[in-house]
Each structure stands twice: as C-alpha cells, then as structure tokens.
Amino acid sequence: MSASASWIARDAAAVWHPFTQHADWTGDDPTVVARAEGPWLWDVDGRRYLDGVSSLWTTTLGHGHPDVNAAIADQLAKLDHATFLGASHTPGIELSETLIALAPKGDDPDLTKVFYAGDGSSAVEAALKIAYQYSTQTGHPRPKIVRLNHAYHGDTLGAVAVGGHDLFHQAYKPLLLETVGIESPGDRALGADRLTTAISHLWSVMHEHGDQVCAIIVEPMIQGAAGMLDYDAAFLREARKLAYTYGALLIFDEVATGIGRTGRMWAAEHAGVVPDLLTCGKGVTGGYLPLSAVLAAEHVYEAFLTRPGDSSPRTFFHGHTYTANPLCCAAALANLRVMGEQDVVARADRLGERLGKLLEPVAAKDAVTEVRRLGTMIGVEVAPDGRS
C-alpha cells in the first residue's frame, strides 16, 4: 500500500472535510499534502503539485517565506497567546495600526478601528452584528440587510443569510436573518444593461425598505465564488450614496478581494469609495495562520461607547478565545511588511495584465463564453455545451 493510500484510509476513518461529499471522496483520488515551499505542494508520496488555488486564495508570498517563518518563531519565543478580551498585547496593537494605515482612503470617513476575528465568515458575522447593534444604538432598530444575488460571504449563519448560493444555503433558510436580495451588477444573464438594472433595483429596494435596512453588504468589484463576476465601480458609488441617504451602513467584504489580489490593496480603491465596515482575512497573514478583521469607521465605533444616562451598556458583546492571537498577528505584520518592501500590490497588478494578455487566445476559443479579470482574480467561463 502506498503512503497516500494508507493516509487516505486513515482520513476516511476519522475526518469529516468541509464542502465534501464523503460518499464519493475516496474514489476521487484525494491529495494528502506533506509539505510546501514557494508555490509548490508535495504529497506523502513525494509528488509535486502547483498550488494553483493559493491554498484557497490565501498565500501571498508563497509557502515557507523565511521572513514570515522567522516572525512566527520569534513571537512564539516571547508570547504564544494571551486574551484580547479587555486586555491587549503588542502584536495586536501594531497590526491594528498597520491595517489602519493601509485602509482605503477617500472623501468618506476613514476606517479608524480594528476588531479581530478568526476567519472570513466570523469577520462577516461580526460586521453584521455591529451593523444591527449600531442601528439600535443610534435610535432606530433596523432588522433588514440588503445583499447581492449570487453573493458568497461565508458559512456561519449570519454570513449564510447574506449569501446567494442556494446550493450551499437552502437547508438553513428557516434559521436565517431577514435580507433583501438585489440583482447583481456582475450577472451576465442581465445582459449589457446589467449595471443600470442593478442600480435601479437597489434604488427601488432602498426606497421601499430603506428605513428598515441596517446594512448593505457587497463583495466590492468582483463576486469571487459566483464565478469571478466583475462589475462596474459605479455600482459601489451608488451604494455609498444610498447608504448615506437612508442611514444604513455600507459593508465591503474584502476577505477574498483584499490584500492586493485585484491589483490594489483593496478592491474599494478601484471605486474611490470607503465603506463604514470592511472585512478582511485570507491573505492578511499570507496564508500562514488564521486571522481576520473588521475595520470600522470612527462614527460606528463611537456608537458603542457608553454615555451618561444610558440604561444599558453599549458594549459589543462579541469575540472568541483566540481573538488577535499574537502568532497570527506576527505573521500578518511580517507578511504586510514584506509586501510593502517588495511592492507586491503593484507587481500583482502587472501580473494580472500579463495573465490577461496570455488568456486572449483562450477567450477567442469557441468553447469559451468569456474571460473575466480584475487584477489576478480571473474566471474563464466555458459554454455548457462546449460551444459559444
């Protein structure tokens, strides 16, 4: 029996994998990874693979970067973990300062505070709770959230509620928050007028429900899990205007799009829009350790400060045991520092342009409906029948 076969048998006896149908799994010749370096993975039999999905869109500098490895080791020698609930530590403070300095800037209020979570879903979950509690603490409880059709924001219940993939979410509908779905500006089924259609639908929904909407949440510029559905920046600018008009918070979920993947540090920069809340994860540590965050504008943060005469605390009672784990923060600091030193975001922009040129012959093939790209986020849509 090969090493892979042995490990697969042990896995099948003990493990329940995410997004996996185990009735079929062992028949699909799964890969058991043993080590990694740079862009490469090796399985337990020594076969080498290109990490073509960047370990689920996380690796930024590649596996085993010496600076990130050293930062984690150095931090481990000083402080492995300490609670962030009502206490603090230096890596968490330094990373907060770094993320605020890197946050998108524009004519809208700056993002000035950082709330940590553990992964993309939990960051979205925190942002949704912040938005609803903000509405209650500013005098008008608003239970509804506006979301895009075809959206994907994660798999905790709040994140599922603002998603638009029935395959993933249908089973949980009786448990979900109250949301209003609108047409996606990236939905090719809407035709050439999809931007106008989506903006019109957003205006209509906000006109009807605006006084009950605590937040509008979007994946800015491109919907990744939907098939890399990129869309016009004008939609984000309209969403920003409508959020202001109706007193809702605008949430940009940059878990997938942030940290340089679109050729900008944040996809928001393509539109010149700053949201009230911004979630990030995946690439923030360069794929080394699990960490995510919610960046918040000052007016949002201030709504959670107790004031004289308050009958109840305004505290955001939310968090988890490993919030802002020092090892994760150290990895993120090293990753972001190296990205800056090596001009990774600009290089990603140039790489995206190069990949776009290389894909032009692919786009011309009869079997390909469209090649979509924003920075290094690329989707190739193949016609269902193999013909355009």
58-94 pLDDT per residue, tens = 999 999 999 999 999 999 999 999 999 999 999 999 9
What integer pLDDT is reported at residue 90 of this predicted model?
A: 99
Q: Which residue has the tokens 């800037």?
A: 105
**CATH 3.40.640.10 domain range(s) in the chain:** 71-341
Report d(CA 217, CA 359) in Å as an integer: 31
The arrangement of secondary structure in 71-341, i.e. its CATH architecture, is 3-Layer(aba) Sandwich (3.40)
pLDDT band at 386 (very low <50, low <70, confident <90, very high): low
Write out pLDDT tens, residues 288-333: 999 999 999 999 999 999 988 888 889 999 999 999 999 999 999 9
Around 100, how many Cα atoms within 13 Å sit in the side-chain half-sphere?
Answer: 17
3-class DSSP assignment, residue 314: coil
For 59-95, b/e burial (b = at least 16 CB within 10 A) is bbbbbebeebeebbeebeeeeeeeebeeeebebbeeb
What integer pLDDT is reported at residue 219 of this predicted model?
A: 99
Closest CA to 290 of 323, 254, 317, 244: 323
Report d(CA 275, CA 211) in Å as an integer: 19
Closest CA to 150 of 193, 215, 194, 210: 194
What integer pLDDT is reported at residue 22 of this predicted model?
A: 92
Rounded mean pLDDT of 98-113? Answer: 98
Distances (CA, A) of 50 to 44, 130, 135: 15, 39, 47
Report d(CA 136, CA 238) in Å as an integer: 25
pLDDT band at 151 (very low <50, low <70, confident <90, very high): very high
Write out pLDDT tens, residues 4-50: 899 999 999 999 999 999 999 888 889 999 999 999 999 999 999 99
Residue 135 scores a pLDDT above 70: yes
Mean pLDDT score across all residues of the chain: 96
pLDDT band at 388 (very low <50, low <70, confident <90, very high): very low
Residue 181 scores a pLDDT above 50: yes
Q: Are 233 and 199 in contact (CB under 8 A)?
A: no
Within a 10 A sphere around the Cβ of 387, how many other Cβ atoms? 11
Rounded mean pLDDT of 215-224? Answer: 98
What integer pLDDT is reported at residue 13 of this predicted model?
A: 95
What integer pLDDT is reported at residue 60 of this predicted model?
A: 95
105: left (phi over 0), alpha (psi -120 to 50) or beta: beta
Which H helix or E strand runs over 294? strand 292-297
Residue 243 scores a pLDDT above 80: yes
> What would you measure as the largest C-alpha separation in the chain, in angstroms?
72
What are the two backbone dihedrals, phi and then psi, of residue 348, each rounded to the nearest 5 degrees?
-65, -40
